[in-house]
Copies of this chain bind each other. A is one copy, B any other.
C-alpha cells in the first residue's frame, strides 16, 4: 500500500503531545538521514474546526474528524496516537488491524486489559509487517541512552539499588481547577500512569531489567477541585450541569512503591504532582557494586557517573555533558556544549522508528514492553488497595 520511499502519517489527537510529535516529524529529516520520506498527511480530531486549526498550526496537509475512516485509508502508512489514554486502545487496535504502523503515546492503555488487547493486536499485525511502538520518549534522552550503555557495559558493576522519583508540582495549589487528567474514566490513573509510568520504564530501560514484585501506595491529597478555569484544563466527566462548582478527583495525586528487579535489586519509586518546586523532575539514581549513575530530567543534558574502580582519592561523581558527537544522536545536532531540549527526544524517537520501519525491525519500546510497564502499574494499584501487600508482576 505504501508509496515507495514515503511514510504518510495520520496523527490522532492534537494537544500538547500533538505539538511535540509534529515538531519531531517536521525536524527529523533536516538533522538526520531518514531512509523514508516523512509526510505529515492528516490530523484527526473530534471537532472539525479545531482539527483544521491544528493542521494549520502544526503544519499538516489536511485534517479529519473520523479516525475510523482515516486509519483505514490507503494513503496512510502510520498512525500516531496522541489522544488521551482512553482512546489509545480503540484507535491503535483499529490501525493495526488495518495494517498500519502505530506509534502510541504512553501509558499504553488506561487499564491492563486494554494494554493486553493492544499487545495482542500488535503481535497479530506483526506478521503483516506492521510495526508498533509505545512513546516512552525519555529513553531517547541522550544521557539516558548513554546511561543504559554504561550499565550494559558493566561500568557500574552489578546493580543493587535504584531510586527513581518523578516529581512535578502543578497540583500543589489546592485551588488549581479540575481537569480530565484527574478523572479516572478518562485518564486511567493520576500521577501513577502519567509520570510514574515514565519512571518505571526509565528504571527498566537503564538497568536492563524488569520489576518482578511491588508494594505500593497511592494517595489523593485534594479530593475536590473547582470545575472552572485554569490554563490547559478542561471540564471532566465528574461534574455535571451548570450548577456544579466542584468536581471529584478520582485519581492519585502521588504514588510511591518499593519494588524488586528480576536480579534482586531494590527499587524505590515515587511519582507526585505535589512536589512544590519540582517542575519536571524525573530523578534517577542507580547504585551498583562498582559505581553509580545519577540523572535528572530538569538537567537532561547531563549524566553523573561514579566509578568506584578509580583510586580512592580520585573517586567522585563525574558530571558528563552529554553533547559530544560520540554520544547517542548528538552527532546530528550541534557542536559539543550546545545543549538540546525536551522536544529533541521525540525527534530521536521518530528517527529510530523510521529506521526500524524501513529495515523491517521491531521498534523498541514495543507494545510488549509497554504492556510490561502496565503490569507494574496494575500491580502497584492493586497493592495499594490491599494494604501495600507485595504483588508479583
Q: Interface residues, chain A, CB within 8 Å of chain B?
A: 16, 19-20, 22-23, 26-27, 29-31, 57-59, 146, 156, 160-161, 163, 165, 167-170, 172-174, 215, 217, 219, 221, 231-232, 254, 256-258, 266, 268, 270, 272, 274-281, 285, 287-292, 297-301, 305-306, 308, 311-321, 323-327, 334-344, 387-390
| Chain B contacts for A27, CB-based, 8 A | 23, 26-27
Q: Which of B317, B334, B389 contacts A387 (CB 8 A)?
A: B389
Q: Which residue of B lies closest to A265 (CB)?
A: B221
Q: With contacts A174-B289, A270-B163, A277-B308 known, is A320 near B326, CB below 8 A?
A: no
Distance in Å: Cβ of A298 to nearest Cβ of chain B: 6
| A339-B298 in contact given A30-B59, A160-B221, A318-B316 (Cβ < 8 Å) | yes
Complex: A362 Cα to B306 Cα, angstroms: 40
A232 to B335, CA, bound (A): 10
Does the CB pair A319–B321 fall under 8 Å? no
From B26, B292, B335, B341, A339 is in contact (CB under 8 Å) with: B341
- List, in ascending order, chain B residues with CB within 8 A of A287's CB: 167, 169, 172, 272, 274-278
Contact partner of A275 (CB less than 8 A), chosen from B279, B292, B320, B390, is B292
Closest B residue to A168 by beta carbon equals: B337
Question: A342 touching B340 by the CB < 8 A rule?
Answer: yes
Copies in the complex: 4
Most buried by B among A168, A275, A276, A305: A276
Q: Which residues of B contact A321 (CB under 8 A)?
A: 279, 298, 316
Are B298 and A299 within 8 A (Cβ)? no
**Contact partner, A258, options B256, B311, B335, B344, Cβ 8 Å:** B256
Residues of B close to A312: CB separation below 8 A:
324-326
What residues of B have a CB within 8 angstroms of the CB of A314 in the complex? 305, 318, 320
Q: B residues within 8 A CB of A319?
A: 316-319
* Most chain B beta-carbon neighbours within 10 Å: one of A289, A290, A291: A289
Nearest to A297 among chain B residues (CB) is B337
Contacts of A341 in B (CB 8 A): 301, 338-341, 344
Q: How far is the CA of A232 from the CA of B311 in the complex (A)?
A: 20
Instruction: Kindly state the separation between the CA atoms of A298 and B277 in the bound complex, as whole angstroms.
Output: 22
Q: Given A258-B258, A314-B320, A320-B314 in contact, is the A276-B299 Cβ separation under 8 Å? A: no
The interface residues of chain B lying within 8 Å CB-to-CB of A281 are 337
Contacts A215-B217, A256-B268, A324-B313; A290 near B318 (Cβ below 8 A):
no
User: Which of B174, B278, B292 lies in contact with A276, CB distance below 8 A?
Assistant: B292
How far apart sit A314 and B277, CA to CA, in the bound complex (Å)? 12
**Which residues of chain B have C-beta atoms less than 8 A from A172's C-beta?**
160, 287, 289, 308
Query: Known contacts A277-B306, A388-B389: does B174 contact A300 (CB below 8 Å)?
Result: no
Given contacts A258-B388, A276-B306, A311-B326, 18 further A-B contacts (CB under 8 A): A16-B334, A156-B276, A160-B274, A172-B308, A231-B325, A256-B258, A256-B266, A268-B270, A277-B291, A277-B316, A278-B337, A279-B335, A280-B335, A280-B337, A305-B314, A312-B324, A317-B318, A338-B341
Tell me the minimal C-beta distance from A22 to chain B in angstroms: 7
Residues of B within 8 A of A232 (CB): 335
Q: What are some 27 contacts across the A-B interface (CB < 8 A)?
A: A156-B276, A161-B254, A167-B287, A170-B336, A172-B308, A174-B289, A215-B215, A215-B258, A217-B266, A232-B335, A254-B266, A256-B258, A268-B268, A276-B290, A277-B308, A278-B287, A280-B336, A281-B337, A297-B337, A298-B337, A299-B299, A305-B314, A311-B326, A313-B324, A316-B319, A341-B341, A389-B389
Residues of B contacting A311 in the complex (Cβ-Cβ under 8 angstroms): 326
